[in-house]
Amino acid sequence: MDYQGGDRSQVINDQNVSREELGQRQMDAEKPFNSTSMTFPFTPGATPQDTQQSPESPQTIPRSKTPVEITHLSPSAISLTSEEALLYHHYNVHLGRWMDCTNASRLLTLRVAEMARRRPVLHHAVICFAARHRGDDKIAEGAYQRCIPLLINRLNQDPTNDETLLTAVIILHFADQLSVRSTSGLCDKSHLSGSSSILRASQKTRFIDPSAPTVREAIFWVYVRQSLYNASIRQQPLDLDFSLQIQPLPEAVKVTHPLDWLRLETAWANQMLWHTACVANFCFSDHGAQSGRPESAQRWQELWVHVQKWRESRPSSFDPIWTGPSTDESVFADIFFTADWHVISFTFYHFASMLLLTYKPGPRFGMRIVQSEESRLEILKHAEAICSASKSSPQNVQLLIIMSHTVFVWGPLLSNSTKRGEVIHLLESFEKYHNWSTKWITNLLQAEWNGA
């Protein structure tokens, strides 16, 4: 059934706005936000049409809204068709887990669907993402084309405090990643560029809360993961403001209420994510590990200490509940954890350690850092830990996403044919069951191995 959207949401007719045009709108947001006026002109020839809304509902809005939110708020909850309700359910059951993999309170699973029922731009983004994951490309594309004009309309206004806009952009980036079929496996970065500019503009302090108590802060950590994915594949610095500081540190999060442990767990998970982002930025930067500068060795040591300190200080809840030889004849060991954020932190720890070993400042041959055999074996141990976690929890999609971008670091070092075969199988299964393009990765890996 083709998704038409009915008369319950803001629809701009006869517009076919491309991803590139949206990207230009979002990248325009990189301009300074302290100017007195901001204009984001519509795509040439695009004119916003009158919109129709659902009849007013007696339901009330429980919290105060910003002017931007009120402007784009449907006066009543959007009435869903049965198919749309199924897609919302699909998001809540499956895709919210992608968003909340380092958030113990499951904030984006619980809040996004609620927000989307009253915000048409987010409604279409959720429909697009869920339909894309289910393979309903016609419905996904229809929702996408309805979402884009609404995004542009919101970018015409001050987007700096618009958490709905930010959430929609992040969700659309996931949806685009599911539709990409290229030799690089990367969708256009315009959505990430737009997210970056909005995040920077709305950052009122120099601190970021790792416990992610609000939607905006939870979205920030999703953006960090998406940036880490792109940076790892391209092996280039992350588009993040690394002058931000984590506050409060997980050790300082006070537990005065029975549910405060959720904030504590989230803070520990996001601190490891931040360490990994800092490590990747250092390793992939021309001014970092690859610069050959004397100060790079000192920075490397600082990052190594941060990562190892996290490992030594983390709560015992982050330890695996069991690890041992595989029970399904897999070449990779079984390893099981209590919660998603525990195993995600485990894999980020191993990725950060692997990167630091790979890019440790030392003797160079041409432009390449010379690695010892001992370092290579250590790198492979970290890689096998990531593979074990991924195959032990195949329902945790973020693990497979991490594996698919870290393989660019450790894949060429893998020489065991059985392990190579299982890595290929994990990547192929990821694409088969989740529509995430990995064929290009397996092609590159096999070409690398055949040429070795």
In a domain, 229, yes or no: no
Do 276 and 378 sit in the same domain of this protein? yes
Among 53-67, 78-92, 292-306, the range scoring the smallest mean pLDDT is: 53-67
pLDDT in tens, 37-57: 333 222 233 333 333 333 333
Does residue 49 fall inside a structural domain?
no
| pLDDT score recorded for residue 58 | 31
- Closest residue by Cα to residue 164 from 129, 113, 239: 113
Quick one: pLDDT at residue 407?
Answer: 97
Do 391 and 290 have their domain in common? yes
For residue 197, pLDDT beyond 90: no
Question: Tens digit of pLDDT for each residue in 384-436?
Answer: 999 999 999 999 999 999 999 999 999 999 999 999 999 999 999 999 999 99
Is residue 65 assigned to a domain? no
* Inside any domain, residue 306: yes
> Looking at the structure, do residues 19 and 92 belong to the same domain, yes or no?
yes
Q: How far apart are CA 125 and CA 148, in angstroms?
A: 9
- Most confident region among 4-8, 252-256, 415-419 by mean pLDDT: 415-419
Q: Which of 138, 139, 141 is nearest to 81 (CA)?
A: 139
Residue 294: band (very low, low, confident or very high) from pLDDT cuts 50, 70, 90: confident
Cis peptide before 213 (omega within 30 of 0): no
Task: State both tokens at 323.
Answer: 């690890």
Read off the DSSP letter of residue 180.
Answer: -
If one counts the domains in the chain, the total is: 2
Confidence category of residue 286, pLDDT binned at 50, 70, 90? confident
Given a contact cutoff of 8 angstroms between Cβ atoms, the answer to whether 177 and 129 are in contact is no
Domain shared by 331 and 427, yes or no:
yes
Per-residue pLDDT tens over the stretch 132-182? 999 999 999 999 999 999 988 888 776 666 889 999 999 999 999 897 765
Q: What is the pLDDT of residues 306-362, one digit of tens each?
A: 999 999 999 999 999 999 999 888 999 999 999 999 999 999 999 999 999 999 887
Residue 64 resides in a domain: no
For residues 119 and 5, state if they share a domain: yes
pLDDT the model gives residue 96 = 97
Q: Mean pLDDT over residues 72-90, rounded?
A: 86
Percent of the chain residues past pLDDT 90, beyond the cut: 63
Whole-prediction pTM: 0.81
Q: Per-residue pLDDT tens for 12-31? A: 333 444 555 545 544 444 44
Looking at the structure, do residues 180 and 272 belong to the same domain, yes or no?
Answer: no
Contact 441, 407 (CB under 8 A): yes
Q: Is residue 329 part of a domain?
A: yes
List of residues 6+ apart from 406 with CB closer than 8 A: 232, 347, 351, 354, 383, 386
Give me 47's structure tokens: 């004119």
**Which among 10, 175, 146, 165 has a CA at the least distance from the CA of 78?**
10
Q: Are residues 29 and 79 in the same domain?
A: yes
pLDDT, tens only, 434-449: 999 999 999 999 999 9
* Statement to judge: residues 287 and 349 lie in one domain: yes
Distance, CA of 99 to chain centre: 7
Give me the domain span that covers residue 11.
1-33+70-202
